Amino acid sequence: MPGFVGAVKINTLSGGSVFNIGDTYRVAPSSASKSFAGAGSFNTGDHIHTETNQNQTQTYDSDVFDQNI
DSSP state letters, 1-66? --------------TT-----S--S-------------TT-S--SSS-----TT--------SS-S
For 13, residues 6+ apart whose C-beta sits below 8 A from its C-beta are: 19
User: What is the C-alpha to C-alpha distance for residues 18 and 29, in angstroms, rounded to an integer?
Assistant: 6
Per-residue pLDDT of the chain (69 residues; tens, 9 = 90+): 667 778 888 898 877 788 888 788 888 877 777 888 888 788 888 888 888 788 777 777 777 777 776
CA atoms within 13 A on the CB side of 8: 8
Please indicate, yes or no, whether the overall pTM of this predicted structure exceeds 0.75.
Answer: no
